[in-house]
Amino acid sequence: MSKSILICGAGGQVGHELSIADSQHNLVPLSREQLDMTEPMQIEAAFAAHQPDIIINAAAYTQVDRAEHEHELAFAINRDGVADLAHACKEAEIPLLHLSTDYVFDGSKPSAYVETDATAPLGIYGESKMTGEALLRASLRQHVILRTSWVFSSTGHNFIKTMLGLGNQRDELSIVDDQQGCPTSARSIANVLLLIADRYLSGKNIEWGTYHYCNQPATTWFGFAQEIFAQASGYQDMLIRPITTSEYPTPAARPANSILDCEKIATVFAIRQASWVEELGLVCAKLDK
């Protein structure tokens, strides 16, 4: 009998890629309009209606700067919504695959972050995600927390869209070059989540816990912007100037080092890091259509 994978946050970047992915299982993508994570009754109703075998949570409050003055909403979704989802999973005795972020770290480590490194978020978004992680760990044994970074896709809001939008208005841009991280396609994240879900649904033993996954190699926002303008059609004359974080102040501080070490997921699940340069090529091809 085919098994059901319920996807929360199906309208987002990762949620969308999950919804359109090839799977031998029955994918049940629910957008915010169909399942609001801040409404426990809606979670209960979705579980009753769809009888899922596993949940993937791609829903989140992701507005890093706005979170600084929308504490309540950020915590309602990223902490309380996750706790309610974990509770429903426990009752139904099914696992939850949940996404988290590099922003749980403060970025002061000189090398890549491993899963056991101490968390110390710099802002409200990171704090809300960190507390969501903690509540999930404490309440549901069968969980995977997949931390990722710098997510991009051809849909939704992301750095590529911002760059191309600015590139349409200006011929010179100044981009931060002292924050290190790994851009990661929503498509590759969806593939990783579905691979883990598939392993579980085919009866294989799963090592539950926290994992890091991002594309490779590491770069800076400046390096990412350079590659975006090199690959997207019509921006080859764009001038990009590297600047420091202090020259581009934002309401929420960003970690200087966002690089996630992905050795654990490689060892446990044999999952290798995709190349963000190649993934960007796929996104640019879609945007060109």
Ligand X SMILES: NC(=O)c1ccc[n+]([C@@H]2O[C@H](COP(=O)([O-])OP(=O)(O)OC[C@H]3O[C@@H](n4cnc5c(N)ncnc54)[C@H](OP(=O)(O)O)[C@@H]3O)[C@@H](O)[C@H]2O)c1
- Supply the minimum distance, in Å, between the C-beta of residue 172 and ligand X: 25
**CB-based contact 7:30 (threshold 8 Å):** yes
Q: How many other CB atoms are there within 10 angstroms of residue 281's CB atom?
A: 13
Tell whether residue 15 is a contact of ligand X (CB under 6 A). yes
Please give the residues from 145 up to 164 whose contact with ligand X meets the rule CB under 6 A: 148-151, 156
Query: Which residues share a beta bridge with 55?
Result: 6, 96
| Binds ligand X by CB under 6 A, chosen from 28, 36, 112, 197 | 36
**CB-based contact 133:145 (threshold 8 Å):** yes
Encoded tokens for 95: 């696992």
Q: How many other CB atoms are there within 10 angstroms of residue 236's CB atom?
A: 8
> What angle do the packed helices 82-92 and 40-50 form, to 10 degrees?
40
Q: Give the nearer residue to ligand X in terms of CB position, either 71 or 241.
A: 71
Tell whether residue 121 is a contact of ligand X (CB under 6 A). no
Q: Which region, judged by CB under 6 A, interacts with ligand X, from 54-62, 201-209, 221-229, 248-256?
A: 54-62
- Going by the DSSP 8-state scheme, the letter that residue 110 receives in this structure is S
Residue of 125, 200, 211, 213 with catalytic role:
125
Encoded tokens for 197: 């879900």
- Supply the minimum distance, in Å, between the C-beta of residue 38 and ligand X: 5
| Binds ligand X by CB under 6 A, chosen from 61, 113, 213, 229 | 61
Sign of CA dihedral 160, 165, 166, 172: positive
Q: Which region, judged by CB under 6 A, interacts with ligand X, from 6-14, 18-26, 215-223, 277-285?
A: 6-14
Q: Which region, judged by CB under 6 A, interacts with ligand X, from 58-66, 104-112, 163-171, 193-201?
A: 58-66
| Binds ligand X by CB under 6 A, chosen from 19, 62, 154, 226 | 62
Sign of CA dihedral 124, 127, 131, 137: positive
| Binds ligand X by CB under 6 A, chosen from 79, 129, 187, 254 | 129
Q: Give the nearer residue to ligand X in terms of CB position, either 234 or 251.
A: 251
Q: Give the nearer residue to ligand X in terms of CB position, either 157 or 241.
A: 157
**Residue 67-106 contact track with ligand X, rule CB under 6 A, x = bound:** ----------x---x-----------------x-xx----
| Binds ligand X by CB under 6 A, chosen from 3, 32, 66, 137 | 32
CA–CA distances in Å: residue 109 to residues 23, 50, 253, 261: 38, 43, 16, 12
Q: Is 125 a residue of the active site?
A: yes
| Binds ligand X by CB under 6 A, chosen from 6, 18, 59, 86 | 59
Residue 257 three-state SS: strand
Q: By beta-carbon distance, which residue lies closest to ligand X?
A: 12
Q: How many other CB atoms are there within 10 angstroms of residue 38's CB atom?
A: 15
Tell whether residue 11 is a contact of ligand X (CB under 6 A). yes
Residue 208 to residue 235: CA distance in whole angstroms = 44
Residue 65 to residue 59: CA distance in whole angstroms = 18
Helix (H) or strand (E) holding 225: helix 221-231
Active site residues: 125
Residues at the site binding ligand X, with contacts judged by CB under 6 A: 8-9, 11-15, 32, 35-38, 58-62, 77, 81, 99, 101-102, 129, 148-151, 156, 186
